[in-house]
Amino acid sequence: MGFLPLLHIPAGINMFGSHKVPPELKRIRRKVGEEVRCYRIKYLEAQQVSVTMVTLDFGTLTRPVGIVRILEVILTCISFSLVASVGHSTFSFWTWCMFTWCFCFCVTLLILFLEFTSLSAKLPISWNDFTTAFAMLATLMVLAASIIYPIFFTCSNCVRQIVATVTSCLAFILYATEVGLTRAKTGEISGFLSTVPGLLKVLEAFVACIIFICLNFNQYSRFPGLQCLVATVGYVSSSYWVWCMFTWCFCFFFTFLILILEFTTINTKMPFAWDDFTTALAMLASLMCLAASIIYPTFFTCTNCPRQIGASVVSWVCFAVYVGEVVLTRLRPTGQNSGFLSTLPGIMKMLETFLACLIFTSLESSQYHNFPGLQWCVAVYSLCFTFAVIIILLSLGGLTSVFPFSFDKLVIVYNIMAAVMYVTAMVIWPLYGFRTSRPSPCKAPCSWDKLVVVTFMTILNVIVYGLDTAYSIRL
């Protein structure tokens, strides 16, 4: 066989027939290789981190707080298991107790799991703040369940109910101990829920829940002494009943919303002054709870109505808590309270809208349907209320600067007009409203008494609008 002829390879081309790699291309290849190695190292580090995320930490189970939480899980599980074995009840207090034990069991077990697997350190929240706030809330809830359950569902021969009560009381002691252990760590607790305003918010939401479980109207016919409530409290056509329920639902919802926003730090993204909003809401909630605490026992509570009396007492407690929050926020150092709603004009605007709400609650269409003078009064109440709410929203949202004229002067003009209109309503309403004397048997809530309430609230709003007008002109 012959040999292949020796081929001549031109300069710049290697033996495989390709051109030589230029130096610039070599530098680019080296740079790309370095970047690939960097990305590979980062990938391996990420894989290592993902492995460390599921590292088991047995120390969390042997520390005092961990042991206390394990006992909490055991005792709450025993409580709801024993109660469930007795039988189901449709009574709202029974539902509250079962919910309390199940809720505390699940959340405590979840906390143990997250700390045992070290996943708690990866959560985008203040973990110590969350666990401390939950321990305080669980303490209140289990305390309420430990009082309610033996009162309504335990007898001297009910062994399982007695054991469930005892384990519930022990769980309360453990949660209180956990609060003491976590609060003892100086400098480690941070966040809104661990502050006094945060604790008050938790207490407000808890008290509102207690009020709700006292208002189960489907059970009246099953318990002695509650028959009298079927004709009075058991229906929802009363505007005063609606006002009380709206007050407690409103306060619970916004308090719970503030807790969530503060806990998740979403409040810092809001396009308005957050401290101003929370301070104003606390003031408004104080007024609303005060009104509900007066109205509800006046019209819907009797001497043989234990749950209604309990709801009234808890409503007063809720009012006291909101007042405490207002005092704390108003005691801040000078300069920290900023925003329209924290100023005197803002407070008077909220008071004007609150009094108007009480007027609307006391109005009945039969009172003004055929009388133009009284219809004018209703128009005054509605217009002033609407414009006051608009002013509050514009001031809270910082939208007053978008107007091509002075917003403060517009508010002064509105205050003057509202004060004059309310003066006319103060004269016309009693003049045309009290055409007849009070009926001798007047079933509560009496329509004639509602006329008196409207008159009194109109006079109060005249005073508030007058002070608001004088203060705005002075400024």
Token look-up 């369940």 returns 145
Closest CA to 395 of 340, 432, 331, 439: 340
Answer for the pair 441, 343: CB distance below 8 angstroms, yes or no. Answer: no
pLDDT tens for 8-38 read 445 554 544 445 556 676 677 777 777 777 7
| Average pLDDT of the segment spanning 263-289 | 83
Q: Given this model, what pLDDT does residue 445 score?
A: 66
pTM confidence score: 0.68
pLDDT class of 366 with cuts at 50, 70, 90: confident
pLDDT class of 431 with cuts at 50, 70, 90: confident
Longest distance between any two alpha carbons in the chain, whole Å? 138
H helices present in 88-126, as ranges: 92-116
Q: Given this model, what pLDDT does residue 7 score?
A: 46
Answer for the pair 397, 342: CB distance below 8 angstroms, yes or no. Answer: no
Percent of the chain at pLDDT exceeding 90: 17
Q: Given this model, what pLDDT does residue 475 score?
A: 67
Task: Determine the distance from the C-alpha atom of residue 207 to the mean position of all C-alpha atoms in its chain, rounded to a whole number.
Answer: 11
Token look-up 């930490």 returns 57
Q: Which residue has the higher pLDDT, 57 or 185?
A: 57
Q: How far apart are CA 226 and CA 302, in angstroms?
A: 9
Q: How far apart are CA 354 and CA 378, in angstroms?
A: 15
Q: Which residues have a Cβ under 8 Å from the Cβ of 56 and sit 6 or more positions away?
A: 116, 117, 118
Q: How far apart are CA 198 and CA 201, in angstroms?
A: 5
H helices present in 154-273, as ranges: 159-183, 196-213, 239-263
Answer for the pair 168, 75: CB distance below 8 angstroms, yes or no. Answer: yes
Mapped onto helix, strand or coil, the DSSP state of residue 445 is: coil
Task: Tell whether the model's pLDDT for residue 332 goes beyond 70.
Answer: no
Closest CA to 461 of 342, 377, 368: 377
Amino acid, res. 441: P
C-beta atoms surrounding 463 within 10 Å: 14
Mapped onto helix, strand or coil, the DSSP state of residue 160 is: helix
Q: Mean pLDDT score of the chain, rounded to an integer?
A: 78
Q: How far apart are CA 323 and CA 311, in angstroms?
A: 18
* Pick from 258-267, 306-315, 327-336, 465-474: least confident: 327-336
Answer for the pair 172, 104: CB distance below 8 angstroms, yes or no. Answer: no
341-346 contacts: CB < 8 A, separation 24 or more?
A: 341/276, 341/277, 341/279, 341/280, 341/392, 341/395, 341/396, 342/275, 342/276, 342/279, 342/280, 344/471, 345/411, 345/468, 345/471, 345/472, 345/475, 346/280, 346/392, 346/395
Q: 462: phi > 0 → left, psi -120 to 50 → alpha, else beta; which?
A: alpha
Q: How far apart are CA 306 and CA 92, in angstroms?
A: 14
* Pick from 139-148, 198-207, 381-390: least confident: 198-207
Q: Given this model, what pLDDT does residue 235 score?
A: 46
Q: Given this model, what pLDDT does residue 229 score?
A: 33
pLDDT class of 1 with cuts at 50, 70, 90: very low
Task: Tell whether the model's pLDDT for residue 422 goes beyond 90.
Answer: yes
Token look-up 């969390």 returns 60
pLDDT class of 382 with cuts at 50, 70, 90: very high
Task: Tell whether the model's pLDDT for residue 335 goes beyond 60.
Answer: no
Q: Given this model, what pLDDT does residue 190 score?
A: 57
Task: Tell whether the model's pLDDT for residue 201 goes beyond 70.
Answer: yes
pLDDT tens for 433-460 read 777 777 777 776 677 778 888 899 999 9
Q: Given this model, what pLDDT does residue 54 score?
A: 59
